[in-house]
């Protein structure tokens, strides 16, 4: 409670100090207006960057630089998209799963600057992003299959985290404290020269936990160097993270403990506007202790490594047509005291033809051939199209095929509550959607989409009763059908409103009377209402209400309110989470925190060019 009083006093004092400053112009004190929605650039679901108005796919574009002080973590950005389900065990990236349109979290592919960072051990770590939040500029979310362009794991959708490219030299220092012993520090330094730039970022967050054995410590750091030469732009990214956390009830009735470490490096060379090549390396370690007070009783230690190499090119065929093609190689391996030592390779080539008319619409046809270890070939076709029926109304539809190989945990991991299955088949899915986008003005867009997924050999953990262990199995006859709607507008100057709702219905008869651990934990209804407004003198207020109803569960609301000053060099902020003090679980049996508050200050020093 002392933390709360201290933070409120700090913020009110800062607010009074701002009120005593000299008046500023309306332009400098108000929230920067959002760009016209149809001009927002996205690359997911297309061979090259296109505007959101041109895209034939359902894509959400999130700007992480717009109001960085009013959200605690990267999961907060994703929650504004109702088709994205965050199944969180711990905050600040310690362990959070992402699923899209009712798919399992293992069916979501996560990219960093277009390069894969999915974990070969287990997809439970698909939000274990090694780059600090302050170095992330945006997130693009593709709804539906994306395996044609991005390969395995993209059955339900794709999330691409894009790092920040600075335009001026600056230094950001940030510190805060809050409920549950939360303490945060972050630093971001950017240097910009004539033909080069450098970004150094580091963050540290820790908490004593809102209940016993739910403490955490999360640290990450990154360096990104860019340089232009006659060869083209070169980008070198180095990043690492270290996250230790109490894992009470995470995987059964145990006071467990876990620690993950991640390293990521990539070299990207853009030879010209048409050709690029990249190589990346990812190493991830996971130490899991079943009983924290008796670590010698049961302990697992996993080390997995992944390599990726890509070459991509776009070739104009005519005024209206462009051919995109590329080659990829992916290798991963694991060394584990419980899973053993395993490795596998995948090579792929793809072609994608885009036919595009600015005033009429677009048509995209793609095919990917992926060769797996052992010689098996998987073909993943895709077809998407859009048509402008009026200057402000666009119809769109898409169909695509996706697949996923079982993770090493699916194949080989067993413990007192879980039984693996080395005979698992790869899972696959056909996804279809159709929708309409309406742009009544430059600052308003509404969209409605119907989607359907037909899955084959879906992987889940099932059991007949609570007395039995969870058994990894392939499910047949799994179908998902749903509806998603989005309204995004800027009704008044300095205000932004985003409303989204997604309904998902699944074929529960695929379980054949068994209990499901993951697949049927999806929301059947998920809604989000976000409002951001300028309150004058550079003060920005954000309110978000999320309401989620999971399969066979009661709906629950979560209300967050935050405020920050965004002008000048002194930026106080205050983040109030779960003001409704709702008791809820995103993963069955894992409690989420109640009402909390975090606040602090950011110092921004910059030199304009």
Please tell me the predicted confidence (pLDDT) of residue 20. 38
What's the pLDDT at 27? Answer: 33
Residue in 420, 423, 428 with CA at minimum distance from that of residue 457: 428
What pLDDT, on a 0 to 100 scale, did the predictor assign at position 11? 39
- What's the Cα-to-Cα distance from 414 to each of 3, 105, 340, 460, rounded to whole Å? 43, 20, 12, 14
What mean pLDDT comes out for the span 451-478? 89
When pLDDT is cut at 50, 70 and 90, the band that residue 390 belongs to is very high
pLDDT band at residue 79 using 50, 70 and 90 as cut-offs: very high
- Given this model, what pLDDT does residue 515 score? 83
For residue 10, give the H/E element and its range.
helix 2-19
The confidence band for 253, taking pLDDT boundaries of 50, 70 and 90, is confident
pLDDT tens digit sequence for 169-210: 999 999 999 999 999 999 999 999 999 999 999 999 999 999
Rounded average pLDDT over 527-531? 96
The least confident of 46-55, 160-169, 259-268, 288-297 is 46-55
What is the mean pLDDT of the segment spanning 361-382? Answer: 92
CB 235 within 8 A of CB 226: yes
Tens of pLDDT, residue by residue over 49-77, are 666 667 788 899 999 998 999 988 888 89
Read off the pLDDT band of 97 (50, 70, 90).
Answer: confident
Region 457-469: mean pLDDT is: 87
Distance CA 234, CA 196 (A): 9
| Position with higher pLDDT, 40 vs 14 | 40
Say if residue 604's pLDDT is above 50.
Answer: yes
Q: What is the DSSP string of 77-118?
A: HHTTSTTEEEEEEETTTTEEEEEETT--GGGEEEEETTEE--
Helix (H), strand (E) at residue 547 = strand 539-550
Compute the distance between CA of residue 574 and CA of residue 12 in angstroms, rounded to an integer: 10
Of 274-278, 288-292, 463-467, the least confident: 463-467
User: What average pLDDT does this structure show over 278-292?
Assistant: 95
Closest CA to 474 of 412, 419, 417, 406: 406
Domains in the chain, please, with CATH?
A: 2-607 (2.40.170.20)
| Residue 225 to residue 234: CA distance in whole angstroms | 8
* Mean pLDDT in residue range 539-568: 94
d(CA 330, CA 345): 6
Quote the distance between the C-alpha of residue 292 and its chain's center.
30
pLDDT at 223: 98
| Whole-prediction pTM | 0.90
More confident residue, 175 or 11: 175
Please report the pLDDT score of residue 589 as a whole number. 85
By 3-state DSSP, what share of the chain in percent is helix, strand and coil, each rounded to 5? 10, 60, 30
Q: Which residues contact 470 (CB under 8 A, 6 or more apart)?
A: 417, 418, 419, 461, 462, 463, 517
Structure tokens at 309: 């190499």
Q: pLDDT (tens digit, 9 = 90+) per residue, 392-417?
A: 999 999 999 999 999 999 999 887 78
266 phi, psi to nearest 5 deg: -150, 150
Q: What percent of the chain has pLDDT over 90?
A: 64
pLDDT at 36 over 80: no
Helices (H) and strands (E) in the chain, counts: 5, 37
């Amino acid at each position: 409670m002392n933390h709360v009083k201290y933070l409120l006093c700090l913020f009110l004092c800062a607010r009074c100090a701002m009120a005593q400053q000299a008046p500023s112009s309306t332009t400098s004190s108000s929230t920067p207006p959002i760009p016209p929605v149809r001009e927002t650039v996205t690359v997911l679901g297309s061979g090259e960057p296109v505007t959101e108005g041109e895209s034939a796919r359902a894509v959400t574009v999130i700007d992480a630089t717009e109001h960085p002080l009013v959200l605690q973590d990267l999961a907060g950005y994703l929650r504004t998209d109702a088709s994205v389900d965050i199944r969180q065990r711990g905050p600040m990236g310690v362990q959070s799963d992402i699923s899209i349109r009712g798919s399992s979290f293992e069916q979501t592919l996560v990219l960093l600057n277009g390069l894969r960072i999915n974990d070969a051990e287990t997809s439970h770590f698909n939000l274990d992003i090694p780059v600090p939040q302050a170095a992330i500029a945006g997130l693009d979310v593709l709804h539906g299959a994306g395996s044609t362009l991005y390969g395995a794991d993209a059955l339900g959708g794709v999330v691409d985290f894009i790092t920040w490219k600075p335009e001026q030299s600056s230094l950001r220092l940030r510190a805060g404290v809050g409920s549950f012993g939360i303490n945060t520090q972050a630093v971001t330094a950017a240097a910009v020269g004539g033909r080069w730039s450098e970004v150094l970022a580091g963050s540290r967050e820790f908490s004593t936990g809102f209940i016993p054995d739910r403490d955490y410590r999360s640290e990450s750091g990154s360096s990104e160097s860019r340089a232009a030469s006659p060869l083209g732009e070169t980008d070198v990214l180095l990043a690492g993270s270290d996250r230790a956390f109490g894992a009470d009830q995470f995987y059964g009735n145990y006071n467990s403990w876990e620690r993950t470490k991640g390293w990521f490096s990539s070299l990207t060379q853009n030879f010209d506007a048409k050709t690029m090549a990249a190589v990346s390396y990812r190493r991830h370690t996971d130490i899991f202790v079943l009983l924290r007070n008796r670590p010698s009783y049961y302990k697992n230690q996993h080390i997995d490594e992944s390599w990726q190499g890509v070459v991509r090119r776009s070739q104009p065929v005519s005024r209206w047509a462009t051919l995109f093609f590329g080659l990829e190689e992916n290798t991963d391996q694991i060394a584990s005291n419980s899973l053993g030592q395993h490795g596998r390779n995948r090579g792929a080539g793809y072609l994608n033809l885009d036919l595009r008319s600015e005033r009429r619409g677009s048509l995209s046809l793609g095919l990917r051939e992926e060769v797996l270890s052992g010689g098996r070939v998987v073909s993943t076709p895709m077809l998407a199209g859009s048509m402008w029926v009026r200057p402000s109304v666009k119809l769109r539809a898409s169909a695509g095929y996706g697949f996923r190989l079982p993770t090493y945990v699916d194949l080989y991991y067993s413990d007192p509550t879980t039984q693996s299955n080395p005979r698992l088949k790869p899972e696959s899915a056909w996804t279809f959607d159709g929708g309409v986008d309406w742009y009544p003005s430059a600052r308003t867009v509404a969209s409605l989409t119907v989607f359907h997924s037909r899955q084959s050999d879906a992987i889940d953990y099932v059991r007949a009763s609570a007395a039995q262990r969870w058994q990894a199995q392939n499910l047949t006859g799994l179908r998902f059908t749903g509806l998603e709607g989005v309204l995004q507008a800027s009704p008044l100057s300095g205000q932004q409103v985003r409303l989204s709702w997604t309904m998902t219905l699944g074929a529960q008869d695929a379980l054949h009377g068994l209990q499901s651990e993951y697949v049927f934990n999806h929301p059947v209804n998920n809604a989000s209402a976000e409002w951001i407004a300028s309150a004058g003198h550079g003060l920005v207020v954000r309110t978000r209400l999320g309401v989620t109803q999971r399969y066979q569960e009661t709906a629950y609301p979560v209300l967050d309110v935050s405020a920050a000053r965004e002008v000048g060099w002194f930026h106080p902020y205050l983040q109030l989470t779960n003001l409704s003090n709702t008791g809820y679980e995103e993963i069955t049996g894992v409690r989420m925190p109640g009402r909390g508050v975090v606040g602090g200050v950011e110092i921004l020093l910059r030199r304009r060019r």
